Structure 1
Amino acid sequence: MHVTADALQPAIDNWAEQYPDTFSPSALVGQNRATSALHQALSIAGRYAHGFLVTPAGLRTYDVLQELQQLHTWDFAEKYDWVYLANPGSASEPRCINLPCGKASAFLTDLWTLFETPVANRQELLTALRDNYPTERVHDYLATVAEKNFEDLPGSEMATIIVQHEENQAVTLCDRVTETNLFGSIRLQSVEGTISSDLHLIEAGALLKANGGVLAIDAEELLSQPGLWRKLKYILRTSQFHWPQPGEANIAAFYRPEPVPVHIKVLLLGERDIYGQLRELDRDFDNLFPYLADFSGHYPLSQFPLAPYFDYLAYVQREAAVLPLNRNAYPLVFKFASRLSDYQTELSLDTIALMQLLRESSAIAAAHGCNDIQGEHVQQVLQQRKYRDGYIADLSRRSILEGQVYIATDGQVVGQVNGLTVVTAGGSEFGEPSRITATVHYGDGDIIDIDRKSELSGNIHTKGVMILSAYIANVFARSEAMSLSATIVFEQSYHEVDGDSASLAELCCLLSALAEAPIEQGLAITGAVDQFGRVQAIGAVNEKIEGYFSLCQARGLTGHQGVIIPAANLSQLNLEPEVIEAVKAGQYHIYAVNHVTEALELLTQSDQKKLYARIEQRLDELQHTDRVPNWWRRLLGR
């Protein structure tokens, strides 16, 4: 199928026409699946109801959590201030009490007043303390110290506040995970040569600060610290936080504050790979973390209306602190977002990438004295990026133009085709053609992959060659063995070749050699095949098309050049404007195929049935030819 210029261009202009009158900036646009899972997790109490958030690249986790806590709160949240108090019964085992949020300082002031008051006159104060601070732990402690004075308290300190909530923060984020940051610590002090600890040396971590609410933890940071994951699991299972002994083993001082009861909802943040590894390697993980909140990196317009995406862009603009976007800039921003997602009908939710684009565009707009970001400013940024990132691609293309790497873009050759590959080098990714050749000779039907023989073939590429071998055997060797063998190779390739995206090109190259049918060198091809010859989708289709276009453009477009791609990749086409213009002018062509026979007809400009008949005739002639070697004939004088 010949792909028209209209099919290459997403309806970006129509999208921009849906510009709304007002915006409601939101980081959660398109995240219905994830927010639904979080809503379920936050509506459940208990030790075995925590969640894992899959966070894609570019997601600003803090912004998401901030917005989430405005929409969804933990139904069973119950936060307190936590205070450690001197224990009259043991200097090394201070007592912990919980107080209503924001009441810790006031309680200590009232407690100080209690100790200053003679025991005989305390009854009214005790009653007021019990009424003002109605928690069981406070009442128990007051019963213990009701008749105690300052002299009865061990040490020189009465109390220390370890957690005090000045404002009700629903979600606490711990993204720099260390044992101290997460669990807190008890430090040591040296007084006149004696190593000891005291109340003011107890320091709470994120776990205790979030106690009674929701704690979000970076999973990769957590798992990179030995022992922290096991310690967290123990706390979640027992709902008790026990302080570790302070100091190292050789200088440890016995100091054991009363354990703190823990009532918390934990959300782990990380990539899907981490989630998969935890499920596979830790038998407790599924029990403790049954809720998966899978945040998406794309916004599919086939499922959602466009209007909310304007709200998402408004959020990106707000966080990037840039000039406002002019309406004529939206089509280019949409194209950029669509290109990031690899689909025409999907827009990227990579917040960081979009912020970078808008900040660069805003800087250019400001330099030109503009009050908003125009389309030309965004276009200039995209051109600058292409220039910055194109050095390696230019070097590679120059080697072809100078003849150091041989790639033909016109003429016809038997058993030679231009495959399309993607090169990743020095942080740059670009498409370029690769010459594939095939030769046939008398043999037993084997297809020899020279790259594999020379150990330059990856496992997936080897699989692709085996599949195309199976296709040829299925078509031409069902009833008897083939008398022809073949060799195939990526010419001038000195690194490992992997992936199956060249298997369609290799198969067409082999069929060309078998049928002795020349291939149009102006056409390059990419695609994977199955054993029945069906063409399957491949990756990086835009980079491959543009890479070959750049080479043909540098040599001069003839109107006979183009690419053949899988029809399954049509929805991913999102090409540069110059490529679309060349297609529109008939100077460059894009063909989409579903089967190898369609690709073969385009490459050879011949009818597939006639080509296959020619191959079968050639095989049949060889099958019935006298197979006595020529050198033996000469020896016998025959």
Structure 2
Amino acid sequence: MTNNISSTTSNDVANKPELVADNLQPLIKQQCTSDFAPLIAAYKKTQEPELLTLFPEAVAIIDHYLKLPTSLLLINSRHWQSAQKLLQQIMPEPSNSAYLLSYDKESLFGRISEAQNHTLSIQEGELIKRNDGVLTLNISPLLVDPSLWFSLKSLLQRGYLQASDLVNAEKIKIALPNLSSCFINTKIILVASRMQLEELIQIDPEYTQVSSLFCELPSQVHVSQSNINALINYCHKQCQELNIKPLDEQALLALFNHLSMQCQHQQQLLFSPEFIEQMLQYANLYTENNEVSDNDLLCYFDEIDKAQSLAKKYSEQSILEGQINLQLSGEKIGQINGLSVVELLGYPCEFGEIFRISASDMIGDGEIIDVERKVELAGNIHAKSTLIVQGYLNHFFSHIAAFPYSCNLVFEQSYQESDGDSASLAILIAVISCYSQSPVQQNVFVTGSLDQHGNVLPIGGINQKIESVTRLFELGLLSDPVKVLMPSANILNLTLNQATLALIETGKIVVYPIAHCHQAFPILLGKSFKQVITTINARIEETNKDEADDSDFNLLSRLKNALFS
């Protein structure tokens, strides 16, 4: 026999904040998107170069690098044009500088040729042409041809050019000239992403033998009035270069909302000169007077989204045809709707998808049997999250000598490898539903990671996950209001599309941000966490009682058989 719940466990549960659904406030529309209108309305044109405002830390490093004898600067940047435009704004004009996105050994070092009269001629490369100047290189050609990097590294170390560095030098039959007096003082700036720098380390672990400085250009900038002013200035200049009329406030609002959605952060904006230029050029196709409006930009966003939605359409078709089994109403024991993000290799977009998690209990020892992990369809992070859920749950039954149940956990209709911990909260609810035999509401969608104290942690792809619920409304599979449970720490990441915002505003999608797993139980199970634990303990007590009765009956039967045989 066991007590219903020990005093220690009772205190653990009682000390947690028990919030019923009525006290947990859902998000309003304004909390689910960015609002740049006040900042755009307060715009004031400034004379300072835009990128100097956006990247002050990088500006300081680059400015000092140009004044120091250091020969190499590494700029970590995802976008080539960001680095190029920043350098152009920093360096005085006219300056002896060049920007090479593509190059080879000949264009960099030059070529040596032998004429018929056995005279030698040297065709200068960019390193000689930009002597005492600045040469900015994209790192990609150096990674494609590592020998080119080692030649450049040797040149930077010795400080002068050798005839053997020149293309065609190995074919010259006469003595090569001595170029040791030809000192090269060209400053080299390499623009690379972190992955490319990691590749350079693999090629040459001792690349730091060349004296160098390092700075970073983030691909996103923080939202502030000064940064918004700089971005509006930049957009107006870009429009002027493209022969487009300056964007009005509504067009700027649409553009900034989209840049914010690319970052999935309400206080961050993507800054990619290539991306902004493409948006303006494409949106200009929808207007005849070179005056891009917010509707033109929205048409561009919609067309690009549709052009990249083939995989998403196949997923939706499977749901409509019943090939994907979802239950969107009623209640069910051990079954819950989770939210995931589908990412396809080589594909330019990602999208959210609904999936079903089911759990079934059996006599056992408290183990959560993760089928995905056992058949190697889940990664290490997924396995870690399942063990965290098991540890958190077992903590509340430490007063029981042998927990009598185990649980079989399945991600239904999962046919490819998946990873991540964003299903931790859903797994916990499904397992507890099984152990307590309490049905789960099927019109609720859940995402969130857990730590071993039950705190709900932020996850990635929150916008795509919530927008997957919107698509169920658009497909006609939902009409009644539904609920979404998400980590409260992800509120700042909400940059939802207009269709989802409209459903939130009308109450069709009710989004609850939660900070602790206990807050989810009243919504999903209609009970507090304490009530669920009490129910499980009562069920364990009944199971142990039945086992004891069976044991007593079996012992009595054996005694009778022994006495009367």
- Report the TM-score when normalising by structure 2: 0.86
Superposition pairs of residues 378-393 of structure 1, within 5 angstroms: 378-393=297-312
Counterpart of 2:144 (choices 224, 227, 236) is: 224
Q: How does 1:30-49 map to 2 (within 5 A)?
A: 30-45=54-69, 48=70
What is the aligned partner in structure 2 of residue 307 from structure 1? 229
Instruction: Give 1:126-137 correspondences, 5 Å limit.
Output: none
Q: Indicate how the Cα distance of structure 1 residues 180 and 620 shifts in structure 2: closer, same or farther if over 3 A, else same.
A: farther
Q: Which residue of 2 aligns with 1:208?
A: 128
1:184 pairs with 2:110:
yes
Tell me: CA distance 1:282–1:373, structure 2 relative to 1, closer, same or farther (3 Å). same
The alpha carbon displacement at 1:283 in A equals 5.5
Q: Report if aligned partners of 1:65, 1:171 keep a CA contact under 8 Å in 2.
A: no
User: Secondary structure in 2 aligned to 1:524?
Assistant: strand
**Which residue of structure 2 lines up, in the alignment, with residue 355 of structure 1?**
277
Partner of 1:127: none
The one-letter amino acid paired with 1:218 is N
Distance in 1 (CA, whole Å) between partners of 2:333 and 2:494 is: 30
Distance 1:271 1:252, change over 3 A: farther
5+ residue gaps, structure 2, are 1-24, 561-565
Judged with a 3 Å threshold, the aligned counterparts in structure 2 of structure 1 residues 468 and 614 are, in CA distance, closer, same or farther, namely same
Is 1:275 the counterpart of 2:197? The answer is yes
Match of 1:241? Answer: 161
Segments of 5+ residues of structure 1 without an aligned counterpart are 72-167
Displacement of 1:415 in angstroms is 0.7
Aligned 1:24-103 pairs, distance under 5 A: 26-45=50-69, 48=70, 50-57=72-79, 59-70=81-92
C-alpha distance 545-68 of structure 1, shift in aligned 2 (>3 A): same
State the match for 2:464 in structure 1: 543
Cα separation, partners in 2 of 1:407 and 1:289, compared to 1, 3 Å: farther
- Matching residue of 1:294: 216
Do structure 1's residue 420 and structure 2's residue 334 form an aligned pair? no
What is the deviation of 1:389?
Answer: 2.2
Does the Cα contact within 8 Å between 2:223 and 2:268 map onto a contact in 1? Answer: yes
Q: Residue 512 of structure 2 is aligned with which of 575, 591, 603?
A: 591
Q: Deviations over 1:397-432 (max 9, x none)?
A: 121122111111111111111110111234431111
CA contact (8 A) 2:222 2:269 kept: yes
Residue 85 of structure 2 aligns to which amino acid in structure 1? D
Q: Distance in 1 between matches of 2:315 and 2:371?
A: 23
Residue number in structure 2 paired with 1:564: 485
Shift of 1:171: 2.3
Is contact 2:111-2:168 (8 Å) kept? no
- How far, CA to CA, are the matches of 1:620 and 1:302 in structure 2? 59
For the pair 1:605 / 2:531, whether they are aligned, the reply is: no
> What's the offset of the Cα at 1:58?
6.6
Q: Give the AA of the match of 2:220.
A: H
For 1:156, the equivalent position in structure 2 comes to none
SS at match of 1:498: coil
Shift of 1:591: 1.0
% same residue: 26
276-285 vs 516-525, greater mean Cα deviation:
276-285
1:549–1:579 contact (8 Å) kept in structure 2: yes
Tell me the distance in 2 between the aligned counterparts of 1:181 and 1:509: 63
1:256 CA displacement: 2.6
Instruction: Specify which of 97, 100, 118 is matched with residue 174 of structure 1.
Output: 100
Cα deviation 1:476-500 (Å, max 9, x = unaligned): 2366342211111110111112111
Q: 1:518 to 1:299 in 2, by over 3 A?
A: same
Asked if the contact 1:29/1:312 (under 8 Å) is kept, the reply is: no
- 1:408 and 2:430 are equivalent in the alignment: no
Over 3 Å counting, the alpha-carbon distance change for 1:327 and 1:627 in structure 2 is same
Q: 2:266 aligns with which of 344, 348, 353?
A: 344
- 1:289-326 Cα shifts (integer Å, max 9, x gaps): 44212001112015955222211222432444434323
Summarize the Cα distance change of 1:213–1:441 in structure 2 as closer, same or farther, 3 Å threshold. Answer: same
Amino acid at match of 1:234: S
Deviation of the 1:230 alpha carbon: 2.1
SS in 2 for 1:227: helix
1:437 counterpart SS class: strand
Quote how far apart the aligned CAs of 1:343 are: 0.7
* Aligned amino acid, residue 388 of structure 1: A
Q: Which runs of 4+ in 1 moved over 6 A?
A: 22-25, 627-630
Q: Distance in 2 between matches of 1:561 and 1:581?
A: 14
Change (3 A) 1:500 1:268: same
Partner of 1:334 in structure 2? Answer: 256
Residue identity matched to 1:444:
D
- Which of 348, 354, 375 does residue 294 from structure 2 map onto? 375
Deviation larger for 311-320 or 443-452: 311-320
CA pair 227-390 structure 1, distance change in 2 beyond 3 A: closer
Q: Distance in 1 between matches of 2:119 and 2:544?
A: 95
Distance change (3 Å), C-alpha of 1:562 and 1:355:
farther
- The residue identity in structure 2 corresponding to 1:439 is S
Counterpart of 1:429? 350
1:493 counterpart residue number: 414
Instruction: Provide the aligned C-alpha RMSD in A.
Output: 2.9
What letter corresponds to residue 415 of structure 1 in structure 2?
A: G
Cα shift at 1:261: 1.2
Distance 1:432 1:252 in 2: 67
Q: Offset at 1:264? A: 2.8
Amino acid at match of 1:492: Q
Alpha-carbon shift at residue 174 of structure 1 (Å): 2.9
Match of 1:67, SS state, is helix
Aligned to 1:554: 475
1:27 to partner: Cα distance: 4.3
Q: SS of 1:393's equivalent? A: helix
Contact preservation (8 Å) 1:25, 1:313: no
Cα distance in 2 for partners of 1:320, 1:314 equals: 10
**1:17, 1:409 → 2: CA distance?**
43
- Quick check: 2:43–2:228 contact (8 Å CA) kept in 1? no
Please report how far the alpha carbon of residue 592 of structure 1 lies from its aligned counterpart in structure 2 after TM superposition. 0.6
CA offset at residue 378 of structure 1?
1.5
Q: Which amino acid counterpart does residue 186 of structure 1 have in structure 2? A: I
Compared CA separation, residues 627 and 68, structure 1 to 2 (3 A): farther
CA separation of 1:38 and 1:610: change in aligned 2, threshold 3 A? same
Which residue identity is paired with 1:214? V
Matched, 1:462 2:388: no
Q: How far did residue 572 of structure 1 move?
A: 0.8
The 1:479/1:239 distance shift into structure 2, 3 A limit, reads farther
Indicate yes or no: 2:499 matched with 1:578. Answer: yes
SS, match of residue 67 in structure 2? coil
Say whether the 8 Å CA contact 1:438–1:510 is kept in structure 2: yes
AA at the equivalent of 2:337: N
- How many Å separate the matches in 2 of 1:58 and 1:423? 28
Does the 8 Å contact 1:30/1:296 carry over to 2? no
Structure-1 separation of matches of 2:173 and 2:392: 72
Q: Which has the higher contact order (CA 8 A, sep 6+)?
A: 2
TM-score, normalised to structure 1's length?
A: 0.77
Quick one: which amino acid aligns to residue 178 of structure 1? D
Q: Which amino acid aligns with 1:398?
A: Q
